[in-house]
Amino acid sequence: MAVSSTNPAAVTFDLWQTLVFESDGSARSGIRRKIRADYGEAALSQLGESVSRETIDGALRDLSEEITVGHDEGFDRTYDEWVAHLIDRIDPDLARRIGQAGLDTFGAVIDQSFIESPPQLVDGAADVLASLSSSGLKIGLISNTGLTSPATYEKWFSTINVLSSFDYIAFSNGLAVAKPSRKIFNATLSQLGVEPARALHIGDNMHTDVAGAAAAGMSTVWVRGGIDSPVNTSYDPDYTIDSMVELLPAVDRWLATLDG
């Protein structure tokens, strides 16, 4: 597997249920939400606000559903906007009372919960990323992200030694646009300097990953072992695998079609 630098090609990855999964086996970590509610209650108490953890937990649960629904429609907000929106869900007047410094404090403890209860890297994912990166392929990450900031994701990627594998990372709550919108795929390929016809996207979600990338003109790999979206699509992926350990042969087959 080797790619010429004069005619570059790219492989882009989804994150959740493709490269990482929740430690508690769920689609959305209940453990992390509990930590967020506990830390959120403590942070607001230090700011002079008495809000029960049950109220915060309910707001977090509702916000998670809202984020997921928005993602399926290609919509997202920036991380700071989601934090402000969460505060509004807790109490519509709370943002005024705690001010921007309070919002920043609250956002920091929400982020800290991710560092303390991170997901797990899928078996074989680090080796696959390293192999693809060394082959001359451009490597991108296109992730629909929840209530964790891009900076915190990158901090965690650094601790697990995968950050350097990516040439460009697109987080939906950094760009305020989500898969399946073509905009996030196009923005990533533009940064990588690769045409859609020479790009392959890997993901578990038929709607946001497979159909979204195909609409942007990319080839696709569906990771069948992931937790799929409830949104259905009739689109067929170009390749199907059950886990990351099966990816490299699929990439080789795809590369053979580019200049054949």
- Convert the pLDDT of each residue in 104-139 to its tens digit: 999 999 999 999 999 999 999 999 999 999 999 999
The answer to whether the CB of 19 falls within 8 A of the CB of 149 is: no
Q: How far is CA 176 from CA 138, 149, 219, in A?
A: 23, 12, 24
Q: Which of 152, 179, 160, 166 is nearest to 79 (CA)?
A: 152
| Strand pairing class (10-13; 199-203) | parallel
Q: How many CB atoms lie within 10 A of CB 11?
A: 27
Fold entry, domain 10-22+121-258: Rossmann fold (3.40.50)
Q: At what angle do helices 30-46 and 94-116 cross, to 10 degrees?
A: 140
The answer to whether the beta carbons of residues 12 and 188 sit under 8 Å apart is yes
- The per-residue pLDDT for range 128-170, each reduced to its tens digit, is 999 999 999 999 999 999 899 999 999 999 999 999 999 999 9
d(CA 179, CA 175): 11
| Token pair for 194 | 């690769």
Q: Which string of b and e fits 168-190 if b means at least 16 CB within 10 Å?
A: bbbbbbbbebbbbbbebbebbbe
C-alpha 243/C-alpha 123 separation (Å) is 9
Domain limits, the chain = 10-22+121-258, 30-116
The Cα–Cα gap between 251 and 132 comes to 9
Average pLDDT of the chain?
A: 92
- pLDDT tens digits along 28-83: 568 899 999 999 999 999 999 999 999 999 999 999 999 999 999 999 999 999 99
pTM recorded for the entire structure: 0.92
Distance between CA 24 and CA 105 in Å, rounded?
Answer: 27
Classify 169 as helix, strand or coil. strand
For residues 188 and 225, which has the higher predicted lDDT (pLDDT)?
188
Residue 233 has pLDDT above 70, yes or no: no
- The DSSP element (H or E) to which 214 belongs, if any, is helix 212-215
Report the DSSP beta bridge partners of residue 168: 140
Residues 167/136, Cβ–Cβ less than 8 Å: no
Residue count of the chain: 260
pLDDT confidence tier of residue 22, bands split at 50, 70 and 90: confident
Maximum distance among all alpha carbons in the chain? 67
